[in-house]
Chain A
Amino acid sequence: MKELLVAGEAERKEAPRILPVPPVPRHGAPPGGWLERYAQVVDPGTLRALEALARRLHGHRIVMVNTTKTGGGVAEILHRLVVILNELGVPTTWEVMEGDEAFFNVTKKIHNALHGHTEPLTAEDREIYAERTRSEAKRLALDGDLILIHDPQPAGLVSLRRKPGQRWVWRCHIDLSSRDPDHWEFLRPSVAQYDASIFSAIEFVPTLPIPTYLVPPSIDPFSAKNREMDPDEVAAILDRLGLSRRGPWVTQISRFDRIKDPLGVIEAFRMVRGRRRARLLLAGGGASDDPEGAEVLAEVRERAGKVKDVTVLELPPGSDEEINALQRMSTVVMQKSLREGFALTVSEALWKRRAVVASAVGGIPLQILHERTGLLARSIEGAAFQTVTG
């Protein structure tokens, strides 16, 4: 990692003095390249800076590894990050570790426990995790110079596939501040074998014997989920989804996951509904590595049926245009999570200039300056109060 990241004087002396910047190789980019589109939202100096930093990585290959191509913030970040890195001349590939239901039940249990919802990890669970890690270690193409492993599910690969000269970095997207000690002790020996770790916020960082860096995640303003959309387009999508154009709409768009507290959102809305006319939309899908989604969705539907003006919408993977329209039609975007890694939905709503009411957990306070860019809440009543009065 140090070789890749630490500045060297030799390069400084070789700085060329010619304008414009020499073009970097383009790999599979659309005409004009993805990077050129970003000139609409950042100044040219920033793009030049990105190219200068990328030149430091020329000659190195990166492999990203996670456990799903669809659903959730990590897959969303990787979809664009891989393209941009390639366009910057840093060859980058994306490997997806596959698993069966048993494996994802175990990793979901670990995920929940690392967020503070403890369930014992049995010997059988440990064996399922180890066995899948062994079989995937044989299958995955992990032949880059830098292997970037995302989240706990594929963390065990490091002990089986590390080659001399490679650098392995663990990128943790989740909030470990309330982690269950037993689950963390299961994971920690693997994490300790990495060359470095990356967390989204300092509050999430456990004690580790390896260097730790802090990098908040990001959203893509040109993705289907965030691109500009005119009102007619939004209205057409609402019609197609069978949603009323008449608001005001309060929405929470998230995976159907207990840590996103969809039942708490319904309860907060019930309080709001007592004072103001409004509609609530709970929309989301599942991630392929989240086996609990269907169960939570059933609970949400059952509870929603008891409160007036609540709509529950299950979105299939790839519903980015729909999510974009739903956020744009919202008067208030809510993110009432009990735990969060970062909550990209908050940045998405802020990008679309929506009013945001969100829990003060995980990476959300990094995005919302209370009463300046949005409203933070710490309880169901708080979320209701901020929605009504904010």
Chain B
Amino acid sequence: MTKPFLFSTVAHLEYPAGRLATGLATLREGIARVPPESLFFHITRVMVRYPRARDLPPNDFANWTAVALQEPELAERLAFAGAQPLTELEDHRAALLRILDDALARKSPEAVGPAAAFHFISARSVKAPLPFTAEHPEEVVHLWPHVDAAAAFYHLVEARVLGPVSDSLTVWLRERGATRLAESAEGLTMGGMPLYRLHREIGARWRRSLIGTRLLERTEKSDAARRQEARDVVARFAGRLRKPREDAGA
């Protein structure tokens, strides 16, 4: 029997990783040597830093290469290499290094001054349990709107990539046989989108995926029970229609 899923929120404590880059060569050196947490910060945590953006900005390496080094083509390639949040970090690292090696082989690197240097940052997550757990995959769907964006990022992306895997929501869903819920969440996450939009779209897709199950449950209920449910729905709808008028009167 799989354990219930415990939701936690996180606060991200950012700190200097102790390394900076002033050109392509030192950027390559830094990417090759920084710990996975720092790579994760610069590539994937962009989702957390710009949670409400309309479109996800490129990763920090691509952004700095475009703005400070004025290398738009290289920036595009670096942006694409870091565009899939669930990719293994060592695969990300290898892809970025390949692109930088290629660029370094083709042109002599130019450096910028210390004021425009790229500073590597790392972050660790301080976890705090949220007061709800899910026993079944359907409960996850119901609880999802109550989960904050930081918790959603932690359970969807961070725990999967940096661990612990026991906190990965999609791993838990698979263990509980909810493969379709896990796949739809992973598919949307891999697309790379700002956090609030991702949170909302996963919730909507999950709710839609439960429509069939709910219909099936209804067919197994008695006529009286179904009629009562229908009356409740109409009453709720009428209540919603009435509310704005009452508010206006007040």
Contact = CB atoms under 8 A, between A and B. Distances in A.
Contact of A19 (B16, B132, B147): B132
A209 to B, nearest CB: 13
B148 interface: yes
A12 B9 CA distance: 11
Most buried by A among B4, B7, B148: B148
Contacts of A52: 8-9, 128-131
B149 interface: yes
Interface stretch (A3-11, A89-97, A236-244, A330-338): A3-11
Contacts of B13: 5, 213
Contacts, number: 90
Interface string A205-225: 100000111110000000000
A11 B8 CA distance: 10
B238 interface: no
A48 B16 contact: no
A45 B125 CA distance: 17
Contacts of A44: 146
B131 A45 contact: no
B102 interface: no
Contacts of B7: 15
Contact of B8 (A12, A18, A20, A177): A12
B6 interface: yes
B31 to A, nearest CB: 17
A19 B142 CA distance: 12
B15 A7 contact: no
A45 B6 contact: no
Contacts of A6: 126
A11 B129 contact: yes
A22 B8 CA distance: 16
B149 to A, nearest CB: 7
Interface in B119-170: 119, 121, 125-133, 145-151
B14 A53 contact: no
A49 to B, nearest CB: 4
B94 interface: no
Nearest to A360: B115
A56 B127 CA distance: 9
B233 interface: no
A210 B88 CA distance: 32
Contact of B147 (A7, A45, A55, A205): A45
Contacts of B128: 7, 11, 49, 52-53, 55-56
A17 interface: yes
A55 B8 CA distance: 12
Interface string A187-206: 00000000000000011010
B131 A49 contact: no
Determine the main DSSP class of B at the interface with A. strand
B11 interface: yes
Nearest to A14: B129
Contacts of B148: 43, 45-46, 48-49
A123 interface: no
Interface in B189-204: none
A140 B147 CA distance: 41
A16 interface: yes
B123 to A, nearest CB: 9
Contacts of A202: 16, 119, 121
Taking residues whose C-beta sits less than 8 angstroms from the other chain, chain A's interface range is 20 to 34
Contacts of B130: 15, 48-49, 52
Given A7-B125, A16-B131, A55-B128, A48 B146 contact: yes
A12 B151 CA distance: 14
Contacts of B6: 12, 15
A212 B15 contact: yes
Contacts of B127: 7, 12
Interface in B21-64: none
Interface string A16-29: 11111110000000
Nearest to A47: B148
Contacts of A20: 131
A214 B13 CA distance: 7
A17 B126 contact: no
B91 to A, nearest CB: 26
Most buried by A among B4, B9, B125: B9
B149 A5 contact: no
Contacts of B147: 45
A43 B146 CA distance: 9
Contacts of A49: 9, 11, 128, 130, 148, 150-151
A5 B126 CA distance: 6
A46 B149 contact: yes
A16 B146 CA distance: 15
B12 to A, nearest CB: 10
A12 B129 contact: yes
A5 B10 CA distance: 11
Interface in B92-131: 115, 119, 121, 125-131
B146 A18 contact: no
Contacts of B146: 19, 44-45, 48
11 contacts: A7-B127, A14-B129, A15-B130, A45-B151, A48-B130, A48-B146, A48-B148, A49-B148, A202-B16, A202-B121, A212-B16
Interface of B: 4, 6-9, 11, 13-16, 115, 119, 121, 125-133, 145-151
Which 9 residue pairs are nearest across A and B when measured between Cβ atoms? A45-B148, A15-B129, A7-B127, A49-B9, A52-B128, A49-B148, A214-B14, A202-B119, A53-B128
Given A46-B148, A202-B16, 10 more contacts: A17-B131, A17-B133, A19-B132, A49-B130, A52-B131, A53-B11, A53-B128, A202-B119, A202-B121, A212-B16
